[in-house]
Structure 1
Amino acid sequence: MTVSGQRTCAENVAATAPTQGQRQHETITIKTPLPIGWGSFCSNPSKENPGCWYATAPWDADTLNYEFNLDGDDALEQTVTAETWQGLHAVVQRQVERHKRITGVQA
């Protein structure tokens, strides 16, 4: 026991897999969460429409676009879409990187 009365335990545990934030390749699975603050949902697929993944940003894109005078390909999006969960992660990552470049703040 430690001085505070708490027990300590040391185990030989392997390091966790690198995350995207560590600039390492990560395999995206359906259990891989989006960055903190991002919301997501999937439309219901049908015979006519295969469905689509959507994610919503944790910032107010319209306000930031106005404040930084952004439009076209430089603009931030409030909602992004992709056909797959892996594709959604890629689109979200590009938005996160764009947001950081524009504001200097990691979202």
Structure 2
Amino acid sequence: MGTIQELQDTLSKRDEEIRNLQSVLQLKEAQIQQREEEIQQLRSHLDKFQSVFPFGGQPAAFPSLRRSTIREPRKVRAQGISAEPQDLQTLQDISHQKFNEYPKSDR
């Protein structure tokens, strides 16, 4: 074993090494935080651009960004039903047909 002075020197060297490692750790944590903020900002930009450009039109340089190779519509639209006749014959039949008239006062 060593003398008390040798032990104190060893202890102070280790304390200094711990302080150095802690300062390096703080620096690395700050760098990680900065990169996480940059990643978040880039993801926000990516989401914005993906919402503007068509889904299937992603560049071939980034195949990992594609969710599927099948082009899907961005929105599914409901189909309406028209109350108008679809063909000329039906239209002619309706135009010659006489419908009952009811005055508003009879309601």
Higher-helix-fraction structure: 2
One fold, TM greater than 0.5? no
- The answer to which structure, 1 or 2, has the higher relative contact order (CA under 8 A, 6+ apart) is 1
Which one has the largest radius of gyration? 2
Higher-strand-fraction structure: 1
Give TM class, smaller chain: under 0.3
Tell me the TM-score normalised to structure 1 length.
0.22
Tell me the TM-score normalised to structure 2 length.
0.22
